[in-house]
Structure 1
Amino acid sequence: MSSDNASQTPLHNPEQPVAAADCPPEKSKNQDKNEAKRKAKIEKFLAKQAAGKAPTTPDAAAAVAAPKKAKAPKAAPKPKPAFINTTPVGEKKGMSEPMADSYNPVAVESAWYSWWETKGLFAPQTGPDGEIGPKGHFVMVAPPPNVTGKLHIGHAMFVAIQDSIVVVEKQLWKNENLTRHDLGREAFVDRVWDYKNQYAGTIMNHFRRLSAFYDWPRERFSLDDILTRATRETFVRLFNDGIIYRSSRLVNWCHHMNTALSSLEVENLELTGPTMLSIPGYPAEEKFEFGVMVHFAYQVEDSDERIIIATTRIETMLGDTAIAIHPDDERYKHLHGKFVRHPFVDRRIPIITDAECVDMEFGTGAVKMTPAHDNNDYVVGKRHNLEFINLLNEDGTLNENAGPYSGMLRFRVRKQIIEDLKAKGLYVDTIGHAMSVPICPKSNDIIEPLMKPQWWVKSKQLAEPAMQAVRDGRLEIAPLTSEMD
């Protein structure tokens, strides 16, 4: 069942204040630890006293029982003064200021760029007639970014790569009066290997100085012919055996950074009810509502009947490819095998039965299926051979599959669809709903499940022999509590 239809227990919103209770303040960890030590010493003293081994003087007894003095709290570090750029715009940066205690990119980068521009360092060097000079020219195309918001991490990566290429080209011409084309691929590769041979030896010597216990005659480089051939052979064998395969699966996609995140990187924002959130890439004053369940209706084909659906991500209804109901639900048995019509795109949506994903007791008992944008729906889609319709571009806009909403940003579509449902008489209600919102920890963008082609490994057939080895004792995992993991 889709996560946006699942029942969740209301959770406390960390932004909401909690009323103070009439109770003593909590002790710090150090206070609890000192108290425990003091009690342990008293118990030890009493035990010695009972055994006739107690200290003979009151001072000795007091020394045993007295708690240690608590350490004075450390003074809070002084806030560092904000950097102020004193270099006039267009002038060369002065370097007389004392060096900072730690690296501050704002201080390091300030003033330089405006001076470079003033000096004309970016302009091509041409002769009096405007023609390219005798040194020739090097041209690199920089495609314009889409005007959909701020630059993302991919732009930073490619600017850094382009800058590195330009520096190499300039150095090659300055030192040898050659371009990379003059040098040629083979000579370039030879230089790469020369670099590897020079620095690999240094690295190995460092390992020797660390007393690394290696059998040095068996040293191998990852690009040695024997290893590259073994890698290709292994990949081909695994592919032919069906262990590795190419398939499109859902990934955690951050539209603001234009990159995929592992599930371990994704953080979750717990909401207890309606909450307005700012989204990276949108104006600061433009906020969007989360923590609500939108109820809307699908019109049953060739009928006056409607089927009510509830979702926390109303914009994904543009990618719905099925409505799931429980096969034993008496309310919908007459709808088995029928279809509904999508109100915004030309699509017939089948009504399917599925006892695994549908809870008859929750909500309306009817669940929208969006296999290309929900992890649970993906499983149902595979089970029922549903159509997978991707709605999103990598930059957070909707693609041509979204019909009239193509090109719009995803959360603006969220607002617009509700208005359009109202205009068609298909909007029912919006109610508060506790939910967990996946967040990118670096950009605070809302993570979207997005279909991407990738290489995968069928791990189940590999994991079973390992699990059996643990069960019969041939493989031991320490600590034993980890065996169940």
Structure 2
Amino acid sequence: MQAILKPSRRLLKNYLIPIKHNVQLHKLEIPALSLAPGYQPQEVEINNLPDTPLEAKLVTQRKIINRGPFRMLLPPPNVTGDLHLGHALMAIVQDVLCRYHHNLGYDVEWIPGTDHAGIATQVVVEKQLFKKLGITRHDLGREKFLEHTWQWKNEKGLGILDDLKKLGCMLTWNKEYFTMNEQQIEAVQVAFIKLFEDGLITRKNSLVNWSCALESAVSDMEVETIELKGPTDICVPGYQHKVPFGNIYEFSYRLCNQKDEIIVSTTRPETMLGDVAVAVHPDDPRYIKYRNIDNVSLWHPFRQEPIPLIFDINVDPDFGSGAVKITPAHDQNDFQIAESHLLKSIPVFTSKGTVVEGFEVFKGIPRFKAREKILNILKEMQLLRTVKPHAMNLPICSRSKDIIEYMLCPQWYLHCQPMANEAMSEIRSGRVQIVPSNFELDWYHWLEDCHDWCISRQLWWGHQIPAYEAVDSVGKSCWVAAKNEVEARAKAQNILNTSDFSIRRDEDVLDTWFSSALLPFSIHNWPAVEYKQHYPLDLMETGHDILFFWVARMAMLGLKLTGEMPFKKILLHGIVCDAHGRKMSKSLGNIVTPQQVIQGASLQSMTNKLQKAEAGGTLTTEEYQKSEKGLQKMFPNGIKECGTDALRFTLCSHNIKSHFINFDIDECYTNKLFLNKIWQATRFTLISAQNLKFSLDDISTMHAIRMNKWDKWILSRLAYTLEKCDEGFKTYNLHYATAALKTFFYNNLCDVFLETTKEDIKNIEMSGYMHLATLTACLVWGLRAMQPFTPFIAKELLLRLPENISMNTKEFQNTAVEAEISKILEICQHVRQLKSQNQISKKHAPKLYLYAQNDGAKNMLNKHLSQIKALTMVDTVDLDVVTDALEANTFNFYSTGGHLCVFGLTVNETYQAQTDKLEFGMEINKRKLEKLQAELQRYRLRVNNEGFMKSASKKVQEKSLEKIKQLEVEIQNILNLRR
């Protein structure tokens, strides 16, 4: 198993040499027993924080196998706060994969960084300024505001990186980046200029998602939708009182030169100032009479001018009255209809959300107050008809919580479709894989009709767009892309053919996703050719929710700017939810940070953190109140300390490729107890090693000791576990590996092997030496397999165990021994269940009677009597062959395969109700018979089915026939006992 490292040489150096079917031991160097009585995560983690990038060699000194590079990029967390559990999942999964590849002998490069997060950061800093100083960014000015933001970023950024280190992430810290450092600025400018000069970036007027609170366009990802079932009052930034939504309004447009009218339906009466038409469906019978009349027009009551009635198949005749107002400056569908009918657009609102000049009665009024005034005037004009409840979807800016306004304004756009076609080709050809593969459909869905990307934002924090507008003395103008004004002037002069012009740089900044899309090559000093030494990435691991917003854009720009896909494989993980499957949100109060899980947190401390966020301006008072209420409901007793390793192990215990990952803090605490189990097993091993006190004189004696079947069984289980771990890593099913490790340590090693061997070890029996050697090998190799998931405890324990234990898993795989021990364990399990059902404990001094089907079975069972006694916790075990006279003395029986084991239990005379137990045991026998007969019937129906015999493989058919024979033997055994 090359994927698992040998631990460092220390303490028990040269204690055990390679374990084969015979064991050899060198002179024991007795260690100073420094392992604490119990597992204390914080102490272990403080002692084992990761060193510089993979320089600690993951607690090992070994011969490095050079398999070449393995490159990954940590998706940069925003510098807007602490890491959340979604970040933790992402970082831990990537760290586990990096450690695994490092253990295989790859030269791992995993680069960390943070994202400037334009909108998110500016919002947080603005809130903080207003909360603490009562000022806005406009009061400070752009330069001073940016200084304040850089200071805030430097403080927050350090906390994020510290959190990553505390998670145990072995990142390549000497290559850490920030998306606005000098190297990134250079890459962003070069990329923009090249795309501009290739004709892919253009400036045009178009509708965008607009936040009036931010005074900026926002991306689709930053738009949330609230589903309203009817009238609902919503808090809107800048308004003292809540604003009502969830109504549909009907008002009249009167036909010019006629007494007739058309009633229009709208959920947004405030935009009617910009109406340029009324539209109906051409086949709507209510309005078909107007199709034969030329130039039907309606009178606009506020602009005092006619607007046309138009017919368009895109109108939904079932919506309201079937007639809709067309406001192209503030509605996406209206904009498209207006373009097709060659209608102009009339803006209604400014960037701040107030009514524009030109509407004197409403000028400067905020849009939703203007709505009230418009409705009142329409009512006075006797044009308002009805106001009715209406279900609707309301778009909200996730950053500012403002109601999204669709605004028509000049923006920079990147034409994506040509690049999108290439990105689709990479997936279709199989050159790049998406895991899980079902997300390929999403890939094609997004890219087959890839709209132009609005890359400009009206912010101050971010990469200022390297574009300049030059205007000559006669008003002729042009836009050029350049790194600085000198370069821009030279380019503009060539276009305008004059040196007499003014020039200004665009004040907008680029969408954060633009700079992030360049990261696979910009972090390696692109456009300098040295980037090719580290490009492309071997794996891009991230959340499926940003497959388009980030991954696809990396693919498009990587292909365009480097000619090569930026990664060889894409691995997508799910969204972390709470234990009930709910997304973590402030309103539910179910958000927890990794450090709260790791260190534990009282309800009061979590409430204090909310209070601090509210005082700092990052939480509104309403958000604080909702969060506090949710915390009290979710965590009335706070959160128990779990430790980093338990958090890592728990997150990886889920299928990371699932759409949602439900994180349960109770499960995390259970995994802390699981790690304590491993800790105690290691401590027992170290103490036992001290007690045995080997010397070189013992070696000749030890040569004669061979492993018994229980040693061979546990090593076979270890070999199986290591193979499952490798399988889990190779298929990105990390939960396969964690499940196998948990089964091995809990069920196999601690609950079985330790229980069956500890007496021999404690009593310094000769076989105890062999058991101790086997136990040591299992701990060493098991901890090596655990190390990618639980690096802190693995390092702490491996430093105290011998390093020179090698293992060939195939050599120790032993199906025959596993099958035999499995039968013994099944017998023990049923005995324990019977004891539990009948409340028989050790104090009752139970005696176990075992009856084998024949002498061969008796001989097999006889070899395991001491282990059966230990595992069933009885005082004595008697073994005999089954006879016809057995039934009267039988308490219960169990048969496995064709191998019958009848067992009886008796207790000392002080324990009563023996008759009841006998009857209970006979009832169990009856239920067992019924179950076996039903199973036999199912298998017989299967093999008699013609379709099964045609479609099933020969191996499957043989297994089914073998199962039928086995069931027939078991049923006959039971029937024989009942005669």
**TM-score when scaled to structure 1?**
0.52
Looking at structure 2, the residues matched to 208 and 479 of structure 1 have their Cα atoms a distance apart, in angstroms, of: 25
What is the aligned partner in structure 2 of residue 155 from structure 1? 138
What is the aligned partner in structure 2 of residue 467 from structure 1? 424
What is the aligned partner in structure 1 of residue 225 from structure 2? 268
Looking at structure 1, the residues matched to 224 and 214 of structure 2 have their Cα atoms a distance apart, in angstroms, of: 15
Looking at structure 2, the residues matched to 472 and 162 of structure 1 have their Cα atoms a distance apart, in angstroms, of: 49
Paired letter, 1:297:
S
Counterpart secondary structure, 1:381? helix
Paired letter, 1:238:
D
What is the aligned partner in structure 2 of residue 290 from structure 1? 245
Task: State the shift of 1:157 in Å.
Answer: 6.3
Task: State the shift of 1:438 in Å.
Answer: 2.1
The answer to whether the 8 A contact 1:344-1:403 is kept is: no
Pick from 352, 376, 381 the counterpart of residue 310 of structure 2.
Answer: 352
Looking at structure 2, the residues matched to 377 and 278 of structure 1 have their Cα atoms a distance apart, in angstroms, of: 27
Task: State the shift of 1:388 in Å.
Answer: 1.3
Pick from 310, 322, 333 the counterpart of residue 265 of structure 2.
Answer: 310
1:85-484 matches, cutoff 5 A: 154-155=137-138, 158=141, 161=144, 164=147, 210=173, 231=191, 234-239=194-199, 243-283=200-240, 286-336=241-291, 337-355=295-313, 357-471=314-428, 473=430, 475-484=432-441
Paired letter, 2:264:
I
Task: State the shift of 1:256 in Å.
Answer: 2.6
Counterpart secondary structure, 1:439? strand
Looking at structure 1, the residues matched to 188 and 243 of structure 2 have their Cα atoms a distance apart, in angstroms, of: 51
What is the CA deviation profile of residues 5-28 of structure 1, one whole-angstrom value per residue up to 9, with x for unaligned ones? xxxxxxxxxxxxxxxxxxxxxxxx
The answer to whether the 8 A contact 2:224-2:397 is kept is: yes
Task: State the shift of 1:314 in Å.
Answer: 0.5
Looking at structure 2, the residues matched to 163 and 456 of structure 1 have their Cα atoms a distance apart, in angstroms, of: 25
The answer to whether the 8 A contact 2:297-2:306 is kept is: yes
Looking at structure 2, the residues matched to 228 and 430 of structure 1 have their Cα atoms a distance apart, in angstroms, of: 51
Distance 1:288 1:329, change over 3 A: same
Looking at structure 2, the residues matched to 164 and 230 of structure 1 have their Cα atoms a distance apart, in angstroms, of: 25
Counterpart secondary structure, 2:365? coil
The answer to whether the 8 A contact 1:390-1:401 is kept is: no
Looking at structure 2, the residues matched to 393 and 152 of structure 1 have their Cα atoms a distance apart, in angstroms, of: 22
Distance 1:153 1:380, change over 3 A: farther
CA RMSD of aligned residues (A): 3.4
Distance 1:311 1:266, change over 3 A: same
Distance 1:460 1:450, change over 3 A: same
Counterpart secondary structure, 2:361? helix
What is the CA deviation profile of residues 138-194 of structure 1, one whole-angstrom value per residue up to 9, with x for unaligned ones? xxxxxxxxxxxx9886437637616959xxxxxxxxxxxxxxxxxxxxxxxxxxxxx
Can you give the 5+ residue segments of structure 2 that lack an aligned partner in the other structure? 1-80, 82-132, 149-169, 177-181, 443-979
Paired letter, 2:312:
D
Paired letter, 1:362:
F
Looking at structure 2, the residues matched to 279 and 258 of structure 1 have their Cα atoms a distance apart, in angstroms, of: 14
What is the CA deviation profile of residues 58-116 of structure 1, one whole-angstrom value per residue up to 9, with x for unaligned ones? xxxxxxxxxxxxxxxxxxxxxxxxxxxxxxxxxxxxxxxxxxxxx9xxxxxxxxxxxxx
Paired letter, 1:250:
L
What is the CA deviation profile of residues 180-225 of structure 1, one whole-angstrom value per residue up to 9, with x for unaligned ones? xxxxxxxxxxxxxxxxxxxxxxxxxxx9975769xxxxxx95677x
Counterpart secondary structure, 2:204? strand
What is the CA deviation profile of residues 251-299 of structure 1, one whole-angstrom value per residue up to 9, with x for unaligned ones? 222223333322212223322111233432233xx34321100100101
Paired letter, 1:158:
G
Paired letter, 2:283:
D
Task: State the shift of 1:380 in Å.
Answer: 1.9
Distance 1:287 1:228, change over 3 A: closer
The answer to whether the 8 A contact 1:291-1:434 is kept is: yes
What is the CA deviation profile of residues 210-247 of structure 1, one whole-angstrom value per residue up to 9, with x for unaligned ones? 5769xxxxxx95677xx7996576245322xxx32211
Looking at structure 2, the residues matched to 433 and 151 of structure 1 have their Cα atoms a distance apart, in angstroms, of: 39
The answer to whether the 8 A contact 1:152-1:257 is kept is: no
The answer to whether the 8 A contact 2:196-2:202 is kept is: no
Paired letter, 2:141:
F
**TM-score when scaled to structure 2?**
0.27
Instruction: Give the paired residue count.
Output: 282
The answer to whether the 8 A contact 1:153-1:257 is kept is: no
Task: State the shift of 1:324 in Å.
Answer: 1.4
Looking at structure 1, the residues matched to 208 and 243 of structure 2 have their Cα atoms a distance apart, in angstroms, of: 23
What is the CA deviation profile of residues 398-449 of structure 1, one whole-angstrom value per residue up to 9, with x for unaligned ones? 0024342112121111111111111111110000011122223344322211
Counterpart secondary structure, 1:251? strand
Paired letter, 2:409:
K
The answer to whether the 8 A contact 2:137-2:145 is kept is: no
Counterpart secondary structure, 1:303? coil
Distance 1:221 1:444, change over 3 A: closer
Counterpart secondary structure, 2:385? strand
Looking at structure 1, the residues matched to 417 and 423 of structure 2 have their Cα atoms a distance apart, in angstroms, of: 10
Paired letter, 1:382:
E
Task: State the shift of 1:465 in Å.
Answer: 4.1
The answer to whether the 8 A contact 2:250-2:266 is kept is: yes
The answer to whether the 8 A contact 1:319-1:402 is kept is: no
Distance 1:374 1:152, change over 3 A: farther
The answer to whether the 8 A contact 1:276-1:290 is kept is: yes
Distance 1:466 1:343, change over 3 A: same
Task: State the shift of 1:387 in Å.
Answer: 1.1
The structure that has the greater radius of gyration is 2
Higher normalized contact order (CA 8 Å, seq sep 6+, divided by chain length)? 1
What is the aligned partner in structure 2 of residue 196 from structure 1? none
Paired letter, 2:301:
P
What is the CA deviation profile of residues 39-58 of structure 1, one whole-angstrom value per residue up to 9, with x for unaligned ones? xxxxxxxxxxxxxxxxxxxx
Looking at structure 1, the residues matched to 135 and 332 of structure 2 have their Cα atoms a distance apart, in angstroms, of: 26
Counterpart secondary structure, 2:279? strand
Looking at structure 1, the residues matched to 237 and 324 of structure 2 have their Cα atoms a distance apart, in angstroms, of: 30
Paired letter, 1:306:
E
Task: State the shift of 1:471 in Å.
Answer: 4.1
The answer to whether the 8 A contact 1:268-1:438 is kept is: yes
Task: State the shift of 1:309 in Å.
Answer: 0.6
Paired letter, 2:138:
H
Looking at structure 2, the residues matched to 352 and 416 of structure 1 have their Cα atoms a distance apart, in angstroms, of: 28
Choose between structure 1 and 2: higher helix proportion.
Answer: 2
Looking at structure 2, the residues matched to 236 and 262 of structure 1 have their Cα atoms a distance apart, in angstroms, of: 21
